[in-house]
Amino acid sequence: MDIKELVVPERILMGPGPSNISYRVLKVMATPIIGHLDPAFLDIMDEICQMLRELFKTKNLITIPISGTGSAGMETSFVNFIEPGDKVIIGVCGLFGERMVDVAERLKANVVKVESNWGEIISPEKMIDALKRNLDAKILAIVHAETSTGVAQPLEEIGDFIKDRDTLFLVDTVTSLGGMEVKVDEWGIDICYSGTQKCLSVPPGLSPLTISSKAYDVLKKRKTKVNSWYLDLTMLTRYWGKERFYHHTAPISMLFALREGLRIIMDEGVENRYARHKKLGDLLKKEFLDLGFTLFSDPNHSLPMLNAFKFPLKIKEPEMRQRLLSEYDIEVGGGLGKTKGKIWRVGLMGESCRLKNILYLVEAIKEIIAN
């Protein structure tokens, strides 16, 4: 067996994630590890939770990173709260809404889908109407930033309606957290998960999650054990809480990385960071429209960090994307599911969200078109 030293191309990651990683995060990943019950590690855990609370804008005690990627966060968010037959309302206008349905149905939930076309939001009225017709729903779930379509879903009205009811408000912020406002407490969100590899610019492998005391009460009242041992919050909170009771071996190096990624965000300031994503997202859209692309997502509800475009005839797909990768080391994303081959998804997430990247990408496209 002859497997050589690791050598990888230096890519500019402008797809739907992962995004580029700061040298500061890469450096801490090379830190020799310590044990998951080492007193020095317990301090690190607390610091991570503290910064995650700041980022999620929440006082929730249970605010922890799950030891898996964003999809593990999604599964954690459903598996801990659903018992067979529970009613769950899910907004679906893209692949990640569809994934929520799949996850919930595997847990024998009674799923009520509220759908819109891909590229559109689901109007808050439509979600609220569904809840009014299903006031016994245990969970109402929706994706904040639909990575498959580039749409930013408004949440405040829905949250306001749910706040004083029994239903739990579950929100996917995998692509939004760290790149635009996420206000868990103010918006009345009860269960919220994200991923590290998008606007946090930390390698994939962890899923920050926060749950409200209202959600924790529901968890405590379960009649059956949580289906998943690995993702069981009743045990995970004993490790992340004061008790420090061993559950599974935490992914130490990834947590070092998350801590540094969060420190970078605190150094920049969350408001500055959101403004950077907004400004450069606007610029990217303008440049792409000038190139003949058209927005796939509703222009009034387009994400700054993930821009979905229909491409003009002069763009050959997937050949153009392949050339961007092989000749310019730029990764942009294609469509997923029903948009496969029909759209591009151009990311501006965290470290990847830089003026120089936009200029280089636009010039690269122009060069390829000219040749």
> Smaller CB distance to a copy of itself: residue 82 or 158?
82
For residue 271, give every residue at least 6 positions away whose Cβ sits within 8 Å of its Cβ, in sequence order, or none.
none
R_g (Cα) of the chain, nearest Å: 21
Which residue is listed with tokens 């994400």? 303
Q: Give the shortest CB-268-to-a copy of itself separation in angstroms.
A: 13
Q: Contact, 148 vs 124, CB < 8 A?
A: no
Closest distance to a copy of itself from the beta carbon of 98 (Å): 11
Tokens of 352: 């990847």
**Residue 256 found at the interface with a copy of itself (CB under 8 A):** yes
CA distance 167 to 140: 7
Does 81 bind a copy of itself (CB under 8 A)? Our answer is: no
Start-to-end CA distance of the chain, whole Å, equals 41
Q: List the interface residues with a copy of itself, window 1-40 (CB under 8 A).
A: 1, 3, 6, 8-11, 13, 15, 17-18, 20-21, 26-36, 38-40
User: Is 105 an interacting residue with respect to a copy of itself (CB under 8 A)?
Assistant: yes
For residue 281, the minimal CB distance to a copy of itself (Å) is 20
Going 307 to 311 to 314 to 315, the CA torsion angle's sign is positive
234 lies in the binding site for a copy of itself (CB under 8 A): no
Nearer to a copy of itself, 77 or 153 (CB): 77
Residue from 52, 89, 182, 257 touching a copy of itself (CB under 8 A): that is 257
110: left (phi over 0), alpha (psi -120 to 50) or beta: beta
For residues 125-164, which are near a copy of itself according to CB under 8 A? none
> Which one, of 74, 88, 97, lies nearest residue 138 by Cα?
88
Interaction pattern, residues 235-254, with a copy of itself; x per rule: CB under 8 A: -----------xxxxxxxxx
| Beta carbons within 8 Å of 184's beta carbon, 6+ residues apart | 56, 57, 58, 60, 192, 210, 212
Which lies closer to a copy of itself via its Cβ, residue 53 or residue 126? 53
Number of residues that bind a copy of itself (CB under 8 A): 78
The single residue among 65, 70, 94, 350 that binds a copy of itself, judged by CB under 8 A, is 70
CB 145 within 8 A of CB 153: yes
Closest CA to 203 of 251, 248, 144: 251
What binding mask, one character per residue, do residues 335-354 give for a copy of itself by CB under 8 A, x or -? -x------------------
Q: Which is nearer to a copy of itself, 20 or 357 (CB)?
A: 20
At its nearest, how many Å lie between a copy of itself and the CB of residue 74? 8
Least Å distance between CB 263 and a copy of itself? Answer: 6
- CB nearer to a copy of itself: pick between 143 and 257: 257
Q: Which of 263, 169, 236, 211 is nearest to 56 (CA)?
A: 211
Helix (H, G, I), strand (E, B) or coil at 117: coil
Selected from 64, 107, 152, 219, the binder of a copy of itself by CB under 8 A is: 107
Restricting to residues 264-323, which ones interact with a copy of itself according to CB under 8 A? 266
What is the footprint of a copy of itself within residues 170-199 (CB under 8 A)? 195, 197
Instruction: Give yes or no for residue 225 binding a copy of itself (CB under 8 A).
Output: yes
Query: At its nearest, how many Å lie between a copy of itself and the CB of residue 16?
Result: 9
Decide whether 83 or 157 has the Cβ nearer to a copy of itself: 83
Name residues whose C-beta falls within 8 Å of residue 118's C-beta, 6 or more positions apart in sequence: 93, 94, 148, 149, 338, 339
Least distance CB 20 / a copy of itself (angstroms): 7
- DSSP 3-state assignment of 142? strand
Q: Measured between alpha carbons, how far is 240 from 236 in angstroms, rounded to an integer?
A: 6
Residue from 52, 72, 177, 324 in contact with a copy of itself (CB under 8 A): 72
